[in-house]
Structure 1
Amino acid sequence: MSTNDTTNDTQPSDFQRGFDAAAQGGMDPMMAMAMSQLTESCPFKSVMALGAGFALGGLFGMFMSSMDTTTNMDEFTKKSTKEQIRLTLKDMGQRSYSSAKNFAVVGAVFSGTECVIETYRAKNDIYNGISAGCITGAALAAKGGPVAMGTGCAGFAAFSAAIDYYMRHG
């Protein structure tokens, strides 16, 4: 028996299990690795957050427009049913699109920032989310000046800390 004939009793790595699963599913292992690297990249995560934020923001805007009671009901009820429906749908569309854009920007900036921080630090902990929240809040409030940026930083960081803590500790 040569030295190369020894058996290896160690468990396969996650990397090897991924290759084995890909091979069983008929996917080329190199393609599986490339797909994994793509989906774990910061630009991909940012684009996914942008899309999810746009969709959720649109739904949120639609819901909030249905709850708005600032419309002058006397003038509104004097219009024909067709005109009321047209005005309602127009308002819902405008508010949905506005909320969708805002949620998309927040999602993309936060997700991208958190990913870059996590990659740089090589750690997955609560401080990544807090830092990303601070940067996101400050960036979104930049037009308002330094005080607004500080407030945005503190607000987003606190919210990120609360959400991260809840997600990690239930």
Structure 2
Amino acid sequence: MSGPNRGPVSPEQNIANEIMESCAFKFGISGVAGFGLGAVFGLVMASLDFAAPVDTTQSTKLQVKATLKDMGTRSYSTAKNFAVVAAIYSGTECVIESYRAKNDLYNSMSAGCITGGILAAKAGPKATVLGCAGFAAFSTAIDYYMRSRGPD
């Protein structure tokens, strides 16, 4: 890991690099990041939902309290879902990439298929196949787009 401007790498840096490149770390950090992103997304979507009935007999304070509680519940639910999806996908892609020792579109396609299949498994075999195909197509399209942009 020494380079023209870096010099020798200390044992602590090697350990830190190994930890940060491990699939377990990527799985965990993706779950945490997914939870944060999901919380923000859920909060925004809950604030835009005007379908909730407003009880005009309650005081403004009680209405605000009920609205904030509903927004928090929705935000937490979305955060959990995002965390699960991000962790499964990232962990699966890392394992596949480690096994294949390549970084290409097939990794994201395979990870997407496995993630979609896992998420849809409770709904039966047809849903599992459709989840696999849909998530694989989406993952591949996003990865292809990100790779085609190149370094900025």
Q: Normalized against structure 1, the TM-score is what?
A: 0.83
Q: Find the aligned partners of 2:140 and 2:37 in 1 and give their Cα distance.
A: 21
Q: Find the aligned partners of 2:64 and 2:8 in 1 and give their Cα distance.
A: 53
Within the candidate set 125, 145, 148, 1:146 is matched to 125
Query: What do residues 56-95 of structure 1 show as CA deviations (whole Å, max 9, x unaligned)?
Result: 000111011011121124xx33321101111111101100
Counterpart of 2:45, as a letter, is: M
Contact 1:46/1:111 (8 A) holds in 2: yes
Within the candidate set 134, 140, 144, 2:113 is matched to 134
Q: Find the aligned partners of 2:56 and 2:108 in 1 and give their Cα distance.
A: 48
2:59 is aligned with 1:62: no
| Equivalent residues in 2 for 1:38-77, closer than 5 Å | 38-73=19-54, 76-77=55-56
Counterpart of 1:67, as a letter, is: L
Match of 1:108 in 2: 87
Alignment gaps of 5+ in structure 2:
none
Match of 2:17 in 1: 36
Which runs of structure 1 show a deviation greater than 4 angstroms over 4 or more consecutive aligned residues?
none
Match of 1:7 in 2: none
Q: Find the aligned partners of 2:50 and 2:8 in 1 and give their Cα distance.
A: 55
Counterpart of 2:22, as a letter, is: S
SS at match of 1:141: helix
Match of 1:25 in 2: none
2:11 is aligned with 1:16: no
Contact 1:57/1:100 (8 A) holds in 2: yes
Match of 2:76 in 1: 97
Q: Find the aligned partners of 2:16 and 2:7 in 1 and give their Cα distance.
A: 15
Query: What do residues 105-163 of structure 1 show as CA deviations (whole Å, max 9, x unaligned)?
Result: 00000000000000000000011001000000000111101011111101100110110
Between Structure 1 and Structure 2, whose CA radius of gyration is higher?
1
